[in-house]
Structure 1
């Protein structure tokens, strides 16, 4: 396929991608608070038999033990050890100490009736420099971890990469270096060879767009580069790695099913103008389905103004065959929505502020010189303690669209909220706002399922309060409170509530 054919077919792939109505039309007319869900809908919500209730975690955010048992340095080790990078000057060196305390954490997950546990494996624990023979102490740790999950009756769900790249591979150029696709495939094959007899659910990446953009364009996450061309090269390497890992895992394990964990946010045009609707379509194509389309079709959707910048991305003849790796299921995160406007007629000027994975830039001419849209995070609804708008309707719109566009099962791979509730004088954590957040969102998810959306699992972010990336320990998303002074775990009221939901498939518990 030549480049012109590739671009033409990509244009067709993204047709109709934007959500159909102006964002204001999504408000619930019966609710007094914008975006809120009527109590009657919460009481009526039901989930099907066999629905999997789970939790999601990540290696660097939970494990600690940053330099034990032969583990190599990761880019997040380097980042957090650099003064001024993390709020409060903290690191993930210990975090929740889950490397040592995982038996009690899995027991707590079982107590909450969790049936699926999404965790990630630290690449530098398996290959300290990102290449070569596996470190068997790392393999043995995850083997014991998986065995403990299975003994608890919990499905092990493995993310192969949740941002902690071996620093040695960043020193070779990081994700903009196309060679990393093959290095990653070797790593994926090692995991499937040693763990594929017990793990059947595999995803290569957590939030691949964030890996590329936040690390190589925005400079907010390690390796803190600010090059839009590096960002585009990184997206292509990640998409190639997704395809290569798919083949490596399937070759090593006949039991394997393969999907991913994509960050997604429903994109509503700011106005009903053609320009804003087209901008929302570009947002959807780049942030929501860029890597999904690559796997399912071997082509990228047209997320760009003008011709796709394939030369900048490093696209080579035959790459569409490498990209093509049809998934068995789709994993997606939901936290909040975006309101998108067109910036294609403005002069682009690099800049803007980024803080965490959910914050957009508002630089002149759009977020970057290729997609040329401005994506805002509205504050019409109430906000969580992390400043994210509460908009439960978004998950309904998102999964309805993805289910319609792709005939695959969907798993909600992450969804949750940060509130800073702490133990009271009786040792209880009465986090009622988190319970209400989940009740509203899950009611909307139930509605989507009742109308035909093919959703089979929901993973709450997260089991434990943990290290929250550049925000350090200033945000708490857990169903369980972690006292980082002594590693004491306390199940929050939301955790007990979630356990009742998991046992009954209903929200009015």
Structure 2
């Protein structure tokens, strides 16, 4: 696929060139076995996050977020990379949406930037930010693409962090107000809202290990942050219901498939602890209205029980319309008294992505079946799944990412197996649409189905983009045949 797209206000032309035409082993012969399991109205999508693609960090009234501060701090990110420019999507959004349409997706998951819409984390919304997101959402509608809008994808306004960030309950109330204001401003253009993306990362990477912004290293604060993030979700859900009863609301959690390193009681207990602090701590209060004894056992020494106030769990347990699941890998848990929570985790084998993450497709089936059987009967969406590889542009101008094609084929097929077992899966959003700023790893990891040359901002759809477009087309054709035969 080839298209020439004009940039906005940049005076340049972006040439977008896909993989080779015709029969290529990366596309032909890579069908999936369970395509017929996916319902006719299945949401085939791609996903991004604001800080990772937008750029224009100081433009349009945007204020600093914790990621601006963290990425400009010495040692914060690989190669001192930041999202100052990223994919320049703030100016190239229209041509990026054209490319989305060319790829044939029916749905697109994006996030709004809290620091662009409400720079200080309070007060009235920034109307330049509102206008930007209204233009993007309207553009998606005009192209026949359904938006799924994430309200918080890690870019906390720095002013709120200066007041204590997610370690303070007040941040949860501030977020709820922001969520209501955003839905009031944009709700006529979007009906599907995701309150939070991967609160585990916000809490434990941001405040525990310090690997993510804001870069703090205090497990007690991390545990309080975990509870306050869940509280923020519940408060925001109730607030949105109050102003837009037709809104469809969900939350996205990363769900990891955890196995013990051995059958020893110590390793099995370590796996249970890791499950408690990775999966259960967020899934249980949202879907069961409680923290189990295993979560309390793992986290009360770090202040979980002290953070809970009367009514919190009922608030967090607000009714939802769907549940988002981000899944990337299987990990192996070892008992290790020298590690945080006495657990050392390593990727399962084979660990073949450029991140060193495992590629075990049956883990996708396992986590979908687990969430559906243990936590909720709500419709499920895979809101992120993907893999990073060492992609490059070959001498013919193509990006032949056969590893990613194989990954997608196997993981999407695994999702189809989950559907066959009774899981009510309604959509699959591949991470990600574009190569982008990969948080602490800067620009060193590429997840996109579209290659981005960060110097020129050229977009080059990879072979995996061709494959995904072909898969979506095959699914549509299959349903058309079924409809005609019926």
The alignment of Structure 1 onto Structure 2 pairs a total of residues equal to 446
Taking structure 1 as reference, are residues 507 and 231 closer, same or farther at Cα in structure 2, changes over 3 Å only? farther
For the 8 Å contact 2:277–2:299, the answer to whether it is kept is no
Aligned to 1:22: none
Higher helix content, 1 or 2: 2
Structure 1: distance between partners of 2:110 and 2:390: 23
Query: Does residue 499 of the first structure (1) align with residue 462 of the second (2)?
Result: no
Structure 1: distance between partners of 2:89 and 2:298: 48
- The correspondence of residues 71-470 of structure 1 with structure 2, limited to 5 A, is 71-301=62-292, 302-305=294-297, 308-309=300-301, 313-343=306-336, 346=337, 364=338, 366-368=339-341, 372-378=342-348, 380-405=349-374, 406-470=376-440
Structure 1: distance between partners of 2:155 and 2:161: 10
Unmatched tracts of structure 1, length 5 or more: 1-38, 347-363
Q: Deviations over 1:260-285 (max 9, x none)?
A: 11111111122334443343333233
Runs of 4+ in 1 over 6 A off after TM superposition: none
Taking structure 1 as reference, are residues 337 and 313 closer, same or farther at Cα in structure 2, changes over 3 Å only? farther
Deviation at 1:426, TM superposition (A): 1.7
Structure 1: distance between partners of 2:465 and 2:30: 23
Taking structure 1 as reference, are residues 119 and 324 closer, same or farther at Cα in structure 2, changes over 3 Å only? same
Q: Deviations over 1:319-347 (max 9, x none)?
A: 2232221221110111110112345xx4x
For the residue of structure 1 that corresponds to 2:105, the secondary structure is coil
Query: Does residue 51 of the first structure (1) align with residue 20 of the second (2)?
Result: no
Unmatched tracts of structure 2, length 5 or more: 1-28, 479-486
TM-score (norm 1): 0.84
Deviation at 1:165, TM superposition (A): 0.6
Q: Deviations over 1:125-168 (max 9, x none)?
A: 11111011111111111011100011111111011111111000
Aligned to 1:36: none
For the 8 Å contact 1:430–1:492, the answer to whether it is kept is yes
Deviation at 1:507, TM superposition (A): 13
Higher strand content, 1 or 2: 2
| Pairwise CA RMSD | 2.0
Structure 2: distance between partners of 1:218 and 1:426: 43
Structure 1: distance between partners of 2:332 and 2:52: 30
Q: Deviations over 1:350-387 (max 9, x none)?
A: xxxxxxxxxxxxxx1x433xxx4333222x21511221
TM-score (norm 2): 0.88
User: Which has the higher mean CA deviation after the structures are superposed, 212-221 or 309-318?
Assistant: 309-318
For the residue of structure 2 that corresponds to 1:448, the secondary structure is helix
